[in-house]
Amino acid sequence: MPHRPAALHRLPHYGTLLAALLLDIVLVPLLLAVGAGMPVARAVMAVVLLAAFVAVGSSRVAGLGLLVAVAAMAISEALRSDTAIAVEIVLRMLFIGYVIVNMTREILRQGDAVTLDTIAGAACVYMLIGLLWSNGYLLLEHLRPGSFDIPDDWRLPGNEIGPALVFFSYVTLTTVGYGDIRTAGPAAGGLAVVEALVGQLFLAVTIARLVGQHLSRRG
């Protein structure tokens, strides 16, 4: 398990990550809708990745993953080539996946020592799952355009579809399924099915267990 400096133990690190994730989900679409541009969206995402690094600990692997992911975002913004964008998405997914695995292990190892910050950590993992899949959808659409049926009113200036796929990911994760954005092929459909299954299993196993442990301590 990565060593966490004493100063970080005093921070509500899971709560900080949760706030950053909510900021990304709520603020970025609004900024893009008013023409703020992708550099602003990438800056907010960099904040999310930094908060994830703080939450997961100070290991060298996490630090390297953060630096590589942020560097890839900067290079992609500068080059705007198809290859650079694909590499950016893949590296970001690898870092988010690493954070999900290590945060889940850390949360479950706490046993009966469940705090509100621990429950916030479980909520973070759940939201990171949605973020991971949204990047997967974005990569698929980048490699195979037309994998998703996205209405024109969901396409932001510059034909930016990132927020649309984030929305699709979270409504799939929560099994809401509004149907306004749809899969248009077996690859996208398969990814959506797996996300829905992972989301429900995570809620049933992890969050229910942590909440139960927290309530039993209070009782």
pLDDT along the chain (219 residues), means of 10: 43 82 88 77 91 88 95 91 94 97 86 75 94 97 95 84 93 92 95 96 83 68
- What ranges in 80-161 are assigned the alpha helix state H? 82-109, 116-143
pLDDT of 31 reads: 82
Spatial separation of the C-alpha atoms in residues 54 and 61, rounded to whole Å = 13
- Provide the whole-model pTM: 0.88
Q: What residues form DSSP beta bridges with 160?
A: 156
pLDDT of 8 reads: 40
pLDDT of 7 reads: 36
Contacts of 122 (CB under 8 A, 6+ apart): 107, 206, 207, 210
Angle formed at CA 167 by CA 194 and CA 189, multiple of 5 degrees: 30
